Homo-oligomer: A and B are copies of this chain.
């Protein structure tokens, strides 16, 4: 087992960090990018594309860089460190990843180049109101209509759903009386597609997406059950989000330690108060354990076994969710009042960590999945998953 980056990976990480610093050196960068449409910096998106970042998860055959989960993780962590709002995990790893994993050769050839060169921002319309994060689609249904398919129902929230040029949609397909999960592609200008855009509490955008007999194209073979591919690609996106969270936690801790070092109260720096510095130490422990788990999950993804990948992502979510909450809450508390203000950076980190937590589905839901299978093995061996 080896956690070291090779030279190429280190170079990638440093290049991404430098690029992001050009816009996101302070929290003002995030504020400016999220204040105007589409909710991220299109110039930055283009430069990430030029650097090849948006093609990292895709094979060279598909027009990508032929890199893998490790490179995706590096990028996600850097984005998290500076709270860059560019939707890498959601648009590239998740929505693009679904096209790559489930699409036919022709679909991949048609759709992926735009994802890779940044001209097409894809979104995965999957969450349904009131449903848990891992639930199969229920309220959006796909039915055959002559040669084609149409979708009906509501997806919400769909991250950057109104900004996306390409929608990948999960839908319930009735196959001889049993429900299957189907994946469909819907064009941004499709008939019967309604998208209502709104801001999310973490400063990004989401949408309510309504389908009313909206024409849609099956992604890959029509009628194939896509629940496994959704689970696997979701695992990839979850691990990327875990790395984004690790990056955000690292900066939240940095901001907190810096504050404890410099801020004076009762005539002395806050770091004089052991009750505070010990809590910072506990934050560090949470961070490092979450980082270890996210890195390991990345390696399991890279190893290729889909079942192992899903379990590893679940463990990473359990660890990240707990750490993100711990660090996010303590970062504000140790700052005191200033941590509550939108002017200061640290609260944005807490806010984003909370959003990631909700998007990942939360700790309890994932713990429940692990609990259901805990009787099936003796010990967890990280070297032999």
Contacts and interface: CB of A to CB of B under 8 A. Distances in A.
A275 interface: yes
Contacts of A274: 273-275
Interface residues of A, number: 5
A278 interface: yes
A278 B275 CA distance: 7
A274 B273 CA distance: 7
Interface in A248-286: 273-275, 277-278
A271 B177 CA distance: 70
Contacts of A273: 274
6 contacts: A273-B274, A274-B274, A274-B275, A275-B275, A275-B277, A275-B278
A367 to B, nearest CB: 15
Contacts of A275: 274-275, 277-278
Nearest to A273: B274
A343 to B, nearest CB: 29
A277 B273 CA distance: 11
A334 to B, nearest CB: 13
A276 to B, nearest CB: 8
Nearest to A279: B275
A275 B278 CA distance: 7
A92 B274 CA distance: 48
A273 to B, nearest CB: 5
A275 B277 CA distance: 9
A363 to B, nearest CB: 18
A260 to B, nearest CB: 13
A372 B273 CA distance: 44
A270 to B, nearest CB: 11
A274 B279 CA distance: 12
Nearest to A274: B275
Nearest to A281: B275
Interface in A301-354: none
A95 B37 CA distance: 75
A274 B274 CA distance: 6
A47 B277 CA distance: 53
Contacts of A278: 275
